[in-house]
Amino acid sequence: MDISIILKNFLNPPVLFFFLGVAAVLVKSNLEIPEALSKFFSMYLLFAIGFKGGVELVKDGINPEHLLLLSACILMAIIVPIYSFYILKLKLDVHNAAAIAASFGSVSAVTFVTAGAFLHTVNFEYSGFIVAGMALMESPAIVIGVMIDRIYGRTTNASGEKEKFSWKELLHEAFFSGSIFLLVGALIIGALTGESGWKAEKAFADDMFKGFLTFFLLDMGLNAAKKLGDLKKSGLFLLAFGILMPLLNASIGILIAKTIGIKVGDALMFTVLCASASYIAVPAAVRMAIPNANPSLYLPLALGITFPFNIIVGIPLYFYLIKQFL
């Protein structure tokens, strides 16, 4: 593997700002991003990738290859949390294993965006329809994770009664939470307005994109460094899981991409979706649906281990392997 690919990705300004955030915590700087701005950066990224994806979706059209890949996205969102759970159950209780499995079955929009920026630096493009795949992968893993928790981890309260739970609330959170609703809504609006809509929004949705991504990754670096200490109690098992599971899921993703026969850019974006772990949508849903799970495990694992591994090593590694096999 050409080391220059890793260096090119590592020396990308947004990635370097992620480590600036980590360094700020390590040296005990008072640097911080206001919570309102952090939320805005997240909303902006979802809007931008959703809107551009919708525009590209109309431009590219839907063909059998696209439908196969979208079906593969749903399949991975269902099976990844299942086999992840059984691996995690070797060391963890049912509730924590189910919560972490849901995180790794779902996706990270920021890892997806970072992969898109990487493709741009190496002069490759990806099709807009893959954004629809990202939207499809977010929710199924949440539902599967909670179903596993209900099947294997039935708990009772102090009175000996089974804890009450609302599937209606869970499904509403899984399919209509703010992040998913904004992403899907922007995708639909982009598809409806097409090129004329893109011309109207390009200055905001495209020209300013990398600047907002940079500030968002700075904020992610701050948050990741603050939460890494929570993983010390779990020992090496979760550390190994946070690195090896993305590699396993990426390998499966590359095999699927090879089988379908898609181009390199789309294959990388699909592989990154398979390899990433959610630290925004899933924690929000799991906090309500699996209250017995420990947030100091599933959140820092996805944000502090898997996310930096993917943006530093994973993306260029997956790109190299895809170019070799495709």
User: CA-CA distance, 274 to 104, in Å (whole number)?
Assistant: 8
Q: How confident is the model at residue 81 (pLDDT cuts 50, 70, 90)?
A: very high
More confident residue, 3 or 169: 169
Is residue 159 one of the residues assigned to a domain?
A: no
Q: Is residue 55 part of a domain?
A: yes
Instruction: Give me the residues paired with residue 162 across strands.
Output: 156
Residue 101 lies in a domain: yes
How confident is residue 6, by pLDDT bands cut at 50, 70 and 90? Answer: low
C-alpha span between 55 and 67 (Å, rounded) = 18
Q: What is the mean pLDDT of residues 269-279?
A: 95
User: Residue 243's pLDDT band (boundaries 50, 70, 90)?
Assistant: very high
CATH of the domain at 309: 1.20.1530
pLDDT at 157 over 60: no
| Angular region, 61: left φ>0, alpha ψ -120 to 50, beta rest | left
Number of domains in the chain: 1
In this prediction, residue 41 has a pLDDT band, given cuts at 50, 70 and 90, of confident
For 84, 102, 127, the CA distances from 145, given in Å and listed in that order, are 10, 5, 30
Of all residues in the chain, what percent are helix, strand and coil, respectively (each to 5)?
80, 0, 20
In the predicted structure, residue 182 carries a pLDDT above the cut 80: yes
**pLDDT over 70 percentage in the chain:** 90
> Could you tell me the pTM of the whole model?
0.81
pLDDT tens-digit map of 191-235: 899 889 999 999 998 889 889 988 988 987 888 788 777 677 667
The domain containing residue 260 runs over which residues? 3-24+42-154+165-325
Percent with pLDDT over 90 in the chain: 38
156 three-class SS = strand
Provide mean pLDDT across the span 130-156. Answer: 81
Q: Does pLDDT of 3 surpass 80?
A: no
Q: At residue 306, does pLDDT exceed 80? A: yes
